[in-house]
Amino acid sequence: MTSNQALADWVREVATLTQPEKIHWCDGSQAEYDTLVAGMLDSGTLLQLDPKTRPRSYLHRSDPSDVARTEHLTFVCTSRRDDAGPNNQWMDPADAHAKMNALFAGAMRGRTLYVVPYCMGPLDSPFARCGVEITDSAYVAASMRTMTRMGTPALKRIEREGSFVKGLHSLGDLHPERRFIMHFPQELAIQSIGSGYGGNALLGKKCHALRIASHQARQEGWLAEHMLIMGIEDPQGRLHYIAAAFPSACGKTNMAMLIPPQEYQGWKVHTIGDDIAWLHVGDDGRLWAINPEAGFFGVAPGTSRHTNANAVDMLQHDTIFTNVALTEDRRPWWEGLSDETPALDWQGRPYQPANGPAAHPNSRFTVSARQCKSWSDAAERPSGVPISAIIFGGRRASLVPLVLEARNWRHGVLLGASMASETTAAATGKTGVVRRDPMAMKPFCGYHFGDYWSHWLATGARLNKAPGIYQVNWFRRDAQGRFLWPGFGENLRVLKWILDRCQGSIGAHETPVGNLPLHGDIDLSGLDVSHDHIRQLTEIEPQAWRDEMDQVNSFLHGFGPRVPQALHDEREQVAQDLRGLGAT
Ligand code: OXD
Ligand code: MN
């Protein structure tokens, strides 16, 4: 089936171990996708939505114990424990292989083994990387076609280049005690068993494009980041691209396809990606980004005409929904979509409010990026797009202002490294707890955070036109718990400030923690935000920041001697300048 001997041998070895009934090499064609879907409709893995209002769209209900990423079951297996760092769970590669071999033995009996060749990034991009996922899940094979460049063209590239990431996945028995997601960065290999959830099972996404790629990127001198990529074009036709890191389920998809507010006639958003950016230093000294993905695996709840009309439009056809609720007439439904009452909840039970939300809070849609109205052809450019600004954002009820500009790259790396956010339903565990999530990469950095921050600093030193670095917080609340900022499309007002700063066309208020907007520089025309709210959003409280800097100090020291001294020095500088501000 392939001229690549290593691939042919590996498929044979896996088949011997897992004992599938059949082997199918995916070509990525429409006919193949249709056959996969027909099989899943037959087996009940997919339910057909109303074909009149939602053509070629399906609902998948996952096992109720398998609805989110499971960070406590996710491991990085490097020969030296310290290389994985305190930010990862570590297992010795030999122990991990022994454990996984036992779990995979006979795991595919009675099932089809799909060989899924895929390419992360435009097929003709030198920055793209290929992989092959072996899986016994038709849902995974079909979703990989939507989320990546999957099939024969990817296989051809693998045959030309030779190298590829080996991803082995089986649903196993879906038992949480026999669920593991193992990464072997030194072998460019991933093994995942016991989960059909996207983040654990679509191995091109988090496992390859972030955990394995971040490791590869460090060796090869680039960055693999948990970032959306978007272009913003002003009425004069000036187009700037930005990359923005937010933790899971904090609005990256909404921001990537933002619809400008009414007052912003003539502004246009170009969507390049909503979750992952691979960043390279160009020959011109600028930072260039590609989106390795080809689709969106987005969070459904909260998506509505008001928050993301582009998403609502793109979800009208050719979409697989996972764990959403259903209306009487078989349309997908989730909290925040409309005022309707659904008929069935995400587990297929008649909807009863006493059972909790109708749609699972981490219910998802899987859809081709080409269905999004704001999708840009630039996403197909082999060179990627040049980045003018990098944004770090978190969900913080207090402390962090609406927007803050780093003084320079090193300060920006500190802002990224000290990012914190309230946890969401994208991972199992308690939601709403503030945790540090450096660069939104806590669950995804495949190596020691200390080395990762050094790599960020080293990358900055190679840029002679480095993007500005910013921190944003759309989630500040008042004493009553109400949001101070309207968010969504109105965030363009903050992005405009950022782009004005990048072009040097406006000033800023310099403070020890970074540069803040001058009074009146965030355009509020037509917006109902009180004077007092905007003041709270663009001010810093020195004592709260002094406490924050103490906590950042302990946090950084928790990563031991691999943390670059430059990052400690930068933090010390901020802390010292804050002391100079006096007692307030
Ligand atoms: C995602 C996540 O699915 O970050 O993108 O969990
Ligand atoms: Mn994500």
Q: How far is the CA of 226 from the centre of ligand 2 (A)?
A: 6
Residue with tokens 């590669």: 93
CB-based contact 393:219 (threshold 8 Å): no
Share of the chain above pLDDT 90, in %: 95
**Region 278-296: what's the mean pLDDT?**
98
Q: How far is CA 480 from the centre of its chain?
A: 31
Which segments of 295-408 does DSSP mark as H helices, in order? Answer: 305-314
Which residues does 490 contact at the CB level (< 8 Å), separation at least 6?
A: 261, 527
Q: Which of 181, 200, 211, 275 most suits a substitution to test ligand 1, by most atoms within 8 Å of the C-beta?
A: 275
Least confident span in 23-32, 349-358, 452-461, 533-542: 533-542
- Per-residue pLDDT band for 584 (boundaries 50, 70, 90) equals low
Question: What pLDDT digit, counting tens, does each position of 69-110 carry?
Answer: 999 999 999 999 999 999 999 999 999 999 999 999 999 999
Give the integer Cα–Cα distance in Å for 255 and 359. Answer: 22
What is residue 431's predicted lDDT score, i.e. its pLDDT? 85
Judge if the beta carbon of residue 559 lies within 6 A of ligand 1.
Answer: no
> Euclidean distance between the first and final Cα of the chain, in Å?
71
**Region 281-297: what's the mean pLDDT?**
98
Q: For residue 362, which ligand has an atom nearest its CA?
A: 1
Q: How far is the CA of 428 from the centre of ligand 2 (A)?
A: 14
- Nearest CA to 11 among 135, 129, 110, 103? 135
Q: For residue 68, which ligand has an atom nearest its CA?
A: 1
Q: Which of 202, 297, 366 most suits a substitution to test ligand 1, by most atoms within 8 Å of the C-beta?
A: 297
Judge if the beta carbon of residue 275 lies within 6 A of ligand 1.
Answer: yes
Task: Give the residue, by CA position, lying nearest to ligand 1 atom 4.
Answer: 248
Superfamily designation of domain 5-220: Phosphoenolpyruvate Carboxykinase, domain 1 (3.40.449.10)
Task: Give the residue, by CA position, lying nearest to ligand 1 atom 2.
Answer: 248
Count of C-beta atoms within a 10 Å radius of residue 356:
11
Judge if the beta carbon of residue 248 lies within 6 A of ligand 1.
Answer: yes
Task: Give the residue, by CA position, lying nearest to ligand 1 atom 1.
Answer: 248
Atom of ligand 1 nearest to the CA of 427: 6
The bridge status of strand 58-60 relative to strand 320-322 is parallel
What is residue 337's predicted lDDT score, i.e. its pLDDT? 98
- Per-residue pLDDT band for 226 (boundaries 50, 70, 90) equals very high
Q: Is pLDDT at 400 greater than 70 in this prediction?
A: yes
Judge if the beta carbon of residue 69 lies within 6 A of ligand 1.
Answer: yes
DSSP string, 517-581: PPTT-S--TT----HHHHHHHT---HHHHHHHHHHHHHHHHTTGGGS-HHHHHHHHHHHHHHHTT
What is residue 158's predicted lDDT score, i.e. its pLDDT? 98
Give the integer Cα–Cα distance in Å for 475 and 197. Answer: 28
Task: Give the residue, by CA position, lying nearest to ligand 1 atom 3.
Answer: 199
Share of the chain above pLDDT 70, in %: 99
What is residue 243's predicted lDDT score, i.e. its pLDDT? 98
**Region 123-138: what's the mean pLDDT?**
98
Q: How far is the CA of 82 from the centre of ligand 1 (A)?
A: 26
The residues pairing with 494 across neighbouring beta strands, listed in sequence order, are: none
Residue 149 φ then ψ, to 5°? -85, 95
Correct CATH for 225-294+378-539 of 3.20.20.70, 3.90.228.20, 3.40.50.10300, 3.40.50.970: 3.90.228.20
- Per-residue pLDDT band for 29 (boundaries 50, 70, 90) equals very high
Q: Where are the domains positioned within the chain?
A: 5-220, 225-294+378-539, 297-367
pTM of the predicted model over 0.85: yes
What is residue 344's predicted lDDT score, i.e. its pLDDT? 98
Helix (H) or strand (E) holding 500: helix 492-502
Max CA-CA distance within the chain?
Answer: 73
**Ligand 2 (single-atom ion) residues, CB below 5 Å:** 248, 275
Q: Is pLDDT at 582 greater than 80 in this prediction?
A: no
- Residue 427 DSSP label: B
Q: What is the mean pLDDT of the chain?
A: 96
Judge if the beta carbon of residue 297 lies within 6 A of ligand 1.
Answer: yes
Question: What pLDDT digit, counting tens, does each position of 414-427 carry?
Answer: 999 999 998 888 88
Q: How far is the CA of 199 from the centre of ligand 1 (A)?
A: 6
| Active-site annotation, residues | 250
DSSP string, 146-173: HHSEESHHHHHHHHHH---EEEEEE-TT
Q: What is the chain's length?
A: 584
Q: How far is the CA of 35 from the centre of ligand 1 (A)?
A: 28
Least confident span in 167-171, 223-227, 272-276, 535-539: 535-539
Q: How far is the CA of 226 from the centre of ligand 1 (A)?
A: 9
Judge if the beta carbon of residue 437 lies within 6 A of ligand 1.
Answer: no
Judge if the beta carbon of residue 256 lies within 6 A of ligand 1.
Answer: no
Q: For residue 226, which ligand has an atom nearest its CA?
A: 2
Atom of ligand 1 nearest to the CA of 252: 5
Q: Which of 69, 252, 360 most suits a substitution to test ligand 1, by most atoms within 8 Å of the C-beta?
A: 69
Q: How far is the CA of 171 from the centre of ligand 2 (A)?
A: 22
Q: Which of 248, 276, 395 most suits a substitution to test ligand 1, by most atoms within 8 Å of the C-beta?
A: 248
What is residue 434's predicted lDDT score, i.e. its pLDDT? 84
**Region 452-475: what's the mean pLDDT?**
98
Q: For residue 365, which ligand has an atom nearest its CA?
A: 1
What is residue 427's predicted lDDT score, i.e. its pLDDT? 85
Q: For residue 364, which ligand has an atom nearest its CA?
A: 1
Q: How far is the CA of 570 from the centre of ligand 1 (A)?
A: 31
What is residue 154's predicted lDDT score, i.e. its pLDDT? 98
Q: How far is the CA of 438 from the centre of ligand 1 (A)?
A: 15
Atom of ligand 1 nearest to the CA of 275: 5
CATH architecture of 297-367: Beta Complex (2.170)
Atom of ligand 1 nearest to the CA of 248: 4
The bridge status of strand 385-393 relative to strand 268-273 is unpaired
Judge if the beta carbon of residue 199 lies within 6 A of ligand 1.
Answer: yes
What is residue 583's predicted lDDT score, i.e. its pLDDT? 57
Atom of ligand 1 nearest to the CA of 226: 4
CB-based contact 404:391 (threshold 8 Å): no
Residue with tokens 């959306």: 228
**Region 178-203: what's the mean pLDDT?**
97
Question: How far is residue 379 from each of residues 106, 231, 372, 535, measured CA to CA in Å?
Answer: 41, 10, 12, 38
- Write out the two tokens for 326: 């259903």
**Region 542-546: what's the mean pLDDT?**
95
Give the integer Cα–Cα distance in Å for 79 and 104. Answer: 22
Count of C-beta atoms within a 10 Å radius of residue 404:
22
Which residues does 463 contact at the CB level (< 8 Å), separation at least 6?
A: 281, 285, 286, 287, 409
